[in-house]
Structure 1
Amino acid sequence: MNANIKSATRREVYRRDGYRCALCDSSQGLQVHHVIPRGEGGTDSPHNLITLCSYCHSHAHGRPLYDTPVTAAEIAQACVEYLADYYAPDWNPWAKGRWSDG
C-alpha cells in the first residue's frame, strides 16, 4: 500500500509522527494515510497525511481487523484532531489552496 506518495514525503510524515502510529502509538506495520481522500480533493501534502499502524489504517477505511466499539468515523475524527493539534493555529483544511502539493 504505497499510494504513490513520494519517498521524501513519506519519510517526512513518519519523522513528524515519531515513527509511531499517531492514534495508538504502535511502531509496527506503519503506513501513511490520507486524512482527506484524494478522490475528495485531498493531496499528498503532509498537512493531509498521518502515520497509522496497519490495524488503525484498516479501521480508518471501515475494515477493522478486530472487534472494537470504535467506529471508522471516530478514527477519522481522531486523525483530523491530531493534524489540527499538530499544525495549530495554521492548520485549516478548508482554506483555499491548503491541499496543494506545491
Structure 2
Amino acid sequence: MAVSKTLRYAVMERDGFTCQYCGVSALAAELQVDHVMPVSCGGQDTPENLLTACKECNAGKSSSLPRKPLDNRDLSRQAVELEERAALLARIRAAGRAIGEDLHGEALDLLNFWGSLHSWAIEREKPRHGERAVWFACLRRLLTLHTADEIEEAILLAHFRLKTGEHEDYAKYTQGILRRKRIEIEREEAAREKAQAG
C-alpha cells in the first residue's frame, strides 16, 4: 500500500524536512519517505516505521534491514519538539491578533480625531463603506509604518495647510507629510551609518 500524502507530510515535518541518514535538508536534495523496516520484510505504513530520507540514501538502502531499531526516545523527543513548535505557533498567532486589535483601536481613534477636525460624527466601530472606510484602511496601513502621535501630527499639519478641499486631498497630503518624514529619517540614518563606517 502506498503512503498517503498526509502521512508523508507529517513524517517529513516530524523529521524537520531533513534526511535522517545523512542530514541533508529539503533545500539541497529531493526528500522521500523511507520504511525503516522494509515492506518486503513485513514493515508497515505507520509513522513509527517511516522516516525522511534523501533520494540517494533511500536508493542506497534498498530493501536492507536497519542496523539498529528505531529508538522510542528519539520519537518521544521529536513529539515534544513538535508540541513546543505548535505552542509557539499558537502564541505567535495570538500576538498577531492582539496587534491587529491594537491597530484597529488606534486607527479608530485617529479617524475620530480627523473627523473632529471636519465635524464628523464619532465612529464607534470600523466604518464599512465610503470615504471613512477608505481613510480607516489607510490609517491602519500608516500605523504599521508610523506611531499614532506622528500620524496625528501629520493630520493636524494637513488640516492647517489645506483650509479647503476634499477629504481625499487631506488624506493624500497627510500621507505625503509622513512619507517625507520617513525619507528624511532614512537619509539621516544612512548618513550616520556612513559616518560611522568611514
Which TM-score tier does this pair reach, normalised by the shorter chain? 0.5 to 0.7
Aligned-pair CA distance for 1:44: 0.8
The whole-number CA distance in structure 2 between the counterparts of 1:10 and 1:48 is 12
Name the counterpart of 1:87.
Answer: 75
The whole-number CA distance in structure 2 between the counterparts of 1:4 and 1:50 is 14
* 2:67 maps to which of 66, 69, 77: 77
Name the counterpart of 1:9.
Answer: 7
Query: As a proportion of its length, which structure holds more helix?
Result: 2
The whole-number CA distance in structure 1 between the counterparts of 2:60 and 2:46 is 22
The whole-number CA distance in structure 2 between the counterparts of 1:49 and 1:26 is 17
Structure 1 runs not aligned, ≥5 long: 63-71, 89-102
Alignment of 1:50-61 (within 5 A): 50-61=51-62
RMSD (Å) for aligned C-alpha atoms: 2.2
Larger relative contact order (C-alpha < 8 A, sep ≥ 6)? 1
The whole-number CA distance in structure 2 between the counterparts of 1:86 and 1:8 is 22
Instruction: Describe the SS at the equivalent of 2:53.
Output: strand
Amino acid across the alignment from 2:14: R
Name the counterpart of 1:36.
Answer: 37
Instruction: Describe the SS at the equivalent of 2:67.
Output: helix
User: CA deviation digits over 1:57-98, x for unaligned, max 9?
Assistant: 011117xxxxxxxxx66xx226x35x444136xxxxxxxxxx
Larger radius of gyration between Structure 1 and Structure 2:
2
TM-score of the aligned structures, taking structure 1 as reference length? 0.60
The whole-number CA distance in structure 1 between the counterparts of 2:22 and 2:73 is 16
The whole-number CA distance in structure 1 between the counterparts of 2:55 and 2:19 is 9
Of all paired residues, the percent bearing the same amino acid is 32
The whole-number CA distance in structure 1 between the counterparts of 2:10 and 2:44 is 15
Name the counterpart of 2:24.
Answer: 26
Aligned-pair CA distance for 1:49: 0.4
TM-score of the aligned structures, taking structure 2 as reference length? 0.33
Query: As a proportion of its length, which structure holds more strand?
Result: 1
Structure 2 runs not aligned, ≥5 long: 77-198
Instruction: Describe the SS at the equivalent of 1:47.
Output: helix
Instruction: Describe the SS at the equivalent of 1:5.
Output: coil
Runs ≥4 in structure 1, deviation > 3 angstroms? none
